[in-house]
Structure 1
Amino acid sequence: MLELLSSFRVVLLGGARQTGKTTLVRDLLELPGHAWFSFDDEAVLARAIDDPVGFVDALPRPAAVDEFQRAGRGFLLAVKQAADRDRARGQLLLTGSTNYLADRGLSETLAGRAGRLLLWPLSMGERLGVRETFLDHLFDPAAWPGQTGDLPREELVRTLLEGGYPEVVTEGLAGRRRRDWFEAYVHDVVSREALRPIAEIRLETELRRLLRLLAARTGQELVVTGVAADAEVGRETASNYVTLLEALHLVTLLPAWSTNLTTRAKRRPKVVVVDTGLAADLCGLGEQTFAPTADGTAAGALFETFVTTEVFKQATWSRRSVDLSYFRDRDGAEVDLIVEDRRSGELAGLEIKLTSTPTSRHARHLAMLRDKLGDRFKTGLVIHAGRQTLPLGERIWAVPVSVLWRADG
C-alpha cells in the first residue's frame, strides 16, 4: 500500500467488512487523529453529502476516509476535481467495504488518478508470518516441485472451517461462538440500508437466501436462472443480488478462459465465496463433511474455494500481474484455475483435488491444455491434500497444498 501511495494521488483500499482495513491503515500510516474520517459517522457523512467540494477541499493532506462509498457520486467527483488540481502523490486514502464501481449511477471514476488495492481475509502466509512467493515462481518450470511442507488433514479441515477473517482467527472462535460471529456478520453486512440502492434491494431475507444458495454453489458455474428459481425471485432480481454481493466482497466471480484454440469454451463465470469459513457456516458444514463416509462433494468445493482464494490474495501483492480464470469446454474438459501473465501471455494451470493420492488421471486436462498451447503453457500443478510430490508429465507436477505458502526468495 505504501508503494501505491507513493505512486498515485489517491488510493482506494477495498474489501469486506472485518478484514482489517482500518487496522492495516493505522499500522502503516502514522496519521494524526484529525486526519481520520469515517462516513459511518452520520454527521460527517451529512457534511460530505451536502457540500462534497467544500468537504474535500477542507481535508488535511494526507487524510484517510473510511466507508467513502456511502457519500456517493458527488464525493467522488469532488475527489476527482481535487486530484486534478493538485498532482501530489499520496493525498487521500479512501477505504470502503463496497466496490464503488458497482454503483450504476457512477459514470465518473478516478481512472488514472487512483491506485486500487483489495484486502482479502487473512492468507495462510499472513497467519504464519511469511510472505508467500507461489505466484512469483509459478511460471518457471525449473522452480517446481519447490518447497513443500506438511499440513495434517485435521489442521487442513480446521483451517477450511475457520476461514480467514482476522477476528475469527485471532480469537480462535469455534463451535457456537463461531456460528454466532458469522450470523451477526452476515446480518450486519446485508442489512445496511445505505448499500441497498446499488442493486435496488427490496428484501433482506431474499438477499440472505441468495447468499446461502451461492455458498452451496461455491466453485461451480453460475447459472443465474437456476439460482433465481431456487431463490424464488426473478432472473433480473437474482442478477442484481449477485452484483451486490460481489460489490460487498462476499462473493467473487471467476471468468471463463478461452483462446482461439479452444473456441468451444463456455462463457459462464464460476461463483466463489471469498472465505471458506463463511461458506461453511452458510451451508452448515462441519468436521463431518470431511468424514470418510461423506460423499465429498461439499468438502471438495470448500477445498477448491480455499486454493482459489489463496491465489486471489497473492495476486494482490505478487511481483507478477496476473489474470485468474478457469477453463471448461463443451466436452467436459476442465482446469480449475488458469493463471495468465498479463504482460507475457504465459499461462499456468491448477487442478485442485481433495485427495491424498494424486495420479496422472488428475492431470489429464492439464496435459491437454499443455499440448494445445505449446510453449505458452509453462507449468501445470495438481494441488492436493496429501504429502506426495510427484511428476505427472512434462511440466506437470502433483504438489501438496502447503506449496501455496512457499516463502523462498
Structure 2
Amino acid sequence: MAGWDKKRSFRLKSTLLDAARGENIGFNDVFLHIWKGSSPELWTSDIEWTTFYGSFLRRYIQNLTDLSSEQDFLNFMRLVAARIGHQLNFRDLSEELGIPETTLNTYLTVLEKTALVYLLPEHSENGRNRKLQSHKVYFTDTGLCAFLSGWPTKKALMDGAMNDLMLENFVIIEILKSYRNRSVEPQLYYLRDSDGKEIDLLIEENEKIYPIEIKKTASPNPSMVKNFEVIPEEIRGNGALVCFVQDDFPLNGEASAIPISYL
C-alpha cells in the first residue's frame, strides 16, 4: 500500500519491524511466557512455579525496611496485580484494605523504586501538552503478577478474565525493556480522550507520536486502530497493532499489523 514502508513504518524500529525474525509463536506459546515469567531460573531449572514465586516474595518483603506491616504490603501487592492496565483508585483501595491512602502511596513508591511495577503516564488529549495526571500500573514480571493475582496455571490465565490485560502488560513491558537494554529511557504514555477513546501505548520520539494498540486477535482490521485519529495528523507517526498475525502487513496508509513474535 502506498505510503507504507516496513523500515520506517513507525519509530520503534529496533524493537519490532527491524527486529530479527524468530519463529512465529502462537497464542499458547505467548501465554506460557506471560504466565511463567521472565526469571531465567524458571526456564533453566526444574523449580516449581509456586515455590519460586512464593520464595521470591518472602525474600523481597523481608529485605524491605520500614514497612508498617508486611501483611498489609502483601495484600496491597495482590490488589495491584489484579488491577494492571488500570489507574489505581487509592480511595477505593484504602476502603478495601483498611489502610490509609498515604501508606498506600508509600507502598506503590516502594514497588516502583524496586522495579516491580512500571507506571505508564497519561498523555494529553490533543497529543501536544503532556499531562501526567494519572498512571496505569503494570508489573515488570508477568509471572509474578499471575502468581499474585491467583492464576495457578497457564490455562487458567489464558482462559481467564485477565488475559487481555496480561497480554497488554507483557507487550508494554517488552517494549520498555527493548529500549532500556539499549540504555535509552523511552517516552511512553497511554491516551484516553474526553469521549473515552483510548490508545494502549504512545511512543514519543523526535516531536512525533507513534500509537500502538495491543489485541488478542489473529484477524486484525482497520477499525481496531481508528482511535489513532485522536492524535493530530501533523504530529502522528505511523502506528502499529501488535497481535497474533504471522507476518506484518499494512492495515491502512498509517498503521500496520505487527506479529507479537517480533518482540
Trace 1:159-238 onto structure 2 (pairs within 5 A).
159-171=33-45, 173=47, 177-192=48-63, 195-197=64-66, 201-238=67-104
Residues of 2 paired with 1:258 and 1:345: CA distance?
14
Runs of 4+ in 1 over 4 A off after TM superposition: 134-137, 143-149, 259-266
Of the three residues 166, 170, 173, the one matched with 1:309 is 173
Trace 1:211-360 onto structure 2 (pairs within 5 A).
211-258=77-124, 267-285=133-151, 286=153, 287-291=155-159, 294=160, 297-318=161-182, 322-341=186-205, 344-360=206-222
TM-score w.r.t. length of structure 1: 0.56
Residues of 1 paired with 2:99 and 2:73: CA distance?
10
The Cα offsets for residues 222-242 of structure 1, whole Å up to 9 and x where unpaired, read as 222222222221111111111
Answer whether contact 2:10 2:210 (CA < 8 A) is retained. yes
Residues of 1 paired with 2:59 and 2:7: CA distance?
34
Residues of 2 paired with 1:265 and 1:166: CA distance?
37
TM-score w.r.t. length of structure 2: 0.85
Distance 1:272 1:190, change over 3 A: same
Answer whether contact 1:273 1:279 (CA < 8 A) is retained. yes
Q: Report the Cα offset of residue 317 of structure 1.
A: 3.4
RMSD: 2.9
The Cα offsets for residues 148-188 of structure 1, whole Å up to 9 and x where unpaired, read as 55112221111111111122222254xxx111110110111
Of the three residues 220, 234, 248, the one matched with 1:389 is 248
Residues of 1 paired with 2:254 and 2:236: CA distance?
9
Residues of 2 paired with 1:155 and 1:144: CA distance?
18
Partner of 1:111: none
Distance 1:277 1:239, change over 3 A: same
- For 2:49, the aligned partner's letter is R
Tell me the SS of whatever aligns to 1:335: strand
Trace 1:351-370 onto structure 2 (pairs within 5 A).
351-369=213-231
Distance 1:390 1:139, change over 3 A: same
Distance 1:388 1:361, change over 3 A: farther
Answer whether contact 2:9 2:255 (CA < 8 A) is retained. no
Distance 1:330 1:265, change over 3 A: farther
Residues of 1 paired with 2:221 and 2:9: CA distance?
23
The Cα offsets for residues 83-110 of structure 1, whole Å up to 9 and x where unpaired, read as xxxxxxxxxxxxxxxxxxxxxxxxxxxx
Residues of 1 paired with 2:46 and 2:177: CA distance?
22
Q: Report the Cα offset of residue 248 of structure 1.
A: 1.7
Residues of 1 paired with 2:191 and 2:72: CA distance?
31
Distance 1:182 1:321, change over 3 A: closer
Partner of 1:117: none
Aligned pair count?
Answer: 253
Residues of 1 paired with 2:99 and 2:200: CA distance?
30
Q: Report the Cα offset of residue 393 of structure 1.
A: 2.0
Structure 1: tracts of 5 or more residues without a match: 1-133, 405-409
Partner of 2:258: 399
Answer whether contact 1:163 1:277 (CA < 8 A) is retained. yes
2:11 aligned with 1:139: yes
Tell me the SS of whatever aligns to 1:213: helix
Tell me the SS of whatever aligns to 2:162: helix
Distance 1:246 1:299, change over 3 A: same
Which fold has the larger relative contact order, with Cα–Cα distance below 8 Å and residues 6 or more apart in sequence?
A: 2
- For 2:140, the aligned partner's letter is V
Residues of 1 paired with 2:131 and 2:113: CA distance?
27
The structure where helix makes up a greater share of residues is: 1
Distance 1:312 1:278, change over 3 A: same
Answer whether contact 1:219 1:271 (CA < 8 A) is retained. yes
Trace 1:86-101 onto structure 2 (pairs within 5 A).
none
Distance 1:350 1:187, change over 3 A: same
